[in-house]
Amino acid sequence: AQTPVKVTVTGAAGQIGYALLFRIASGQLLGADVPVTLSLLEVPQAVKAAEGTAMELDDCAFPLLRGIEIADDPNVAFDGANVALLVGAMPRKAGMERGDLLEANGGIFGPQGKAINDHAADDIRVLVVGNPANTNALIAQQHAPDVPAERFTAMTRLDHNRALSQLAAKLGVPVTEIKKMTIWGNHSATQYPDLFHTEIGGKIAAEQVDESWLRDTFIPTVAKRGAAIIDARGASSAASAANAAIDHVHDWVNGTEWTSAAIVSDGSYGVPEGLISSFPVASRGGRWEIIQGLEIDAFSRERIDASVRELEEERDAVRKLGLI
Ligand code: NAX
């Protein structure tokens, strides 16, 4: 029988965790023929809630679920992990400065990166969901010198899926008709959803919509969708975020011709080497590759640069705090 793949989920008792774990256990993360064991990492005060979720997972009698472990120690939770979904993070609280936020998250993602470095399986793949996702991923990556840097990624797939859905609604086409969508930069309000390479029926999307819609409606709607969800639901995106995490890892492992993911820059498109920034990517042989050779016009350049500048500022801030 196939050895189960060990998937570690941090923040397992949170709302994204609750939406994510059942889908992993049902085979949607890795495939309907891949057995999994789940490792749930939580803070001590939420371990009991994680145990409750584990009881429900048991009660599903998922054929692919071969075991569940719960821990409050990252060294235990990441031991032998093949996939790590870093969801738990310190949310911004009222009155918190950006420096405080980065510092609190450094205290989470530094030790988790080190635990991954010391204990995870050789093929470990890491997706950071917890915000600020790109910079949290950078902190974790910097604490894992023995793991290839390319194994650390951050999630912009939710932004990508939001962009697909907004464009599909505007043009009255199914999302499956839309190819080559791209989110560039940071998973933040500065992100740039790019329609200048997106195609519908072989025609460029930017040419099928008004420039004013693209600039004044599409881009801000995608970038601020998270806030709109909070406004409507009274809670932040959870099932859609979990869905995007599933999409990201599924495509990383199983391959895709084109999607968006925040991965370590090799300097492509003027994004400084080492930053974890969103790019148009393909996945082949279990590795992300940045899609090369796209022409970037002035409109896109300005927006990509602004988001990348924000990532550089975050990197400089965590450097100054001694977090990387
Ligand atoms: P919740 O507050 O519901 O859950 C977070 C869980 O993480 C809690 O159970 C908490 O106990 C746990 N936790 C905190 N510190 C931990 C640590 N050191 N080790 C293990 N567990 C720890 O938040 P939820 O709605 O699930 O969101 C989780 C994160 O995802 C947040 O940072 C949120 O901002 C981020 N998001 C990222 C998105 C993206 O597209 N990249 C979109 C959705 C979401 O906003």
Q: Is 166 in the pocket of ligand 1 (CB under 6 A)?
A: no
The answer on pLDDT for 1 being more than 80 is no
DSSP E strand boundaries for 73-197: 83-86, 125-128, 152-154, 178-179, 182-184, 192-194
User: Which is the closest atom of ligand 1 to the Cα of 128?
Assistant: 41
| pLDDT score at 91 | 86
| pLDDT score at 96 | 87
Task: Look at the block and give the residue holding tokens 């409050």.
Answer: 72
Confidence of residue 94 (pLDDT cuts 50, 70, 90): confident
Task: Tell me the ipTM for this assembly.
Answer: 0.98
What's the predicted TM-score (pTM) here? 0.98
Catalytic status, residue 250? no
The architecture that CATH gives domain 5-154 is 3-Layer(aba) Sandwich (3.40)
User: Cα(233) to centroid of ligand 1, in Å?
Assistant: 17
Q: Is 92 annotated as a binding residue?
A: yes
Beta bridge partners of 231: none
Could you state, in order of their start, the residue ranges of all structural domains in the chain?
A: 5-154, 157-314
Confidence of residue 2 (pLDDT cuts 50, 70, 90): confident
Tokens of 239: 């099932």
Report how far residue 291's alpha carbon sits from residue 11's, in angstroms, rounded to the nearest whole number. 32
Q: Is 14 annotated as a binding residue?
A: yes
Tokens of 316: 């400089």
The answer on pLDDT for 168 being more than 80 is yes
List 143, 160, 187, 250, catalytic entry:
187
The answer on pLDDT for 42 being more than 80 is yes
**295-319 pLDDT, tens per residue?**
999 999 999 999 999 999 999 999 9
**190-209 pLDDT, tens per residue?**
999 999 999 999 999 999 99
Q: Is 219 annotated as a binding residue?
A: no
In testing the pocket of ligand 1, which one of 92, 109, 129 has its CB within 8 Å of the most ligand atoms?
129
| Cβ atoms of residues 5 and 51 within 8 Å | no
> Phi-psi category of 23—alpha, beta or left, where left has phi over 0 and alpha has psi -120 to 50?
alpha
| pLDDT score at 259 | 99
The architecture that CATH gives domain 157-314 is Alpha-Beta Complex (3.90)
**286-297 pLDDT, tens per residue?**
999 999 999 999
Task: Look at the block and give the residue holding tokens 């040419």.
Answer: 207
Structural Rg of the chain based on CA atoms: 19
Residue nearest atom 12 of ligand 1, based on CA coordinates: 11
SS3 277: strand
Q: What share of the chain is helix, strand, coil (3-state, %, to 5)?
A: 45, 20, 35
Mean pLDDT of the chain, nearest integer = 97
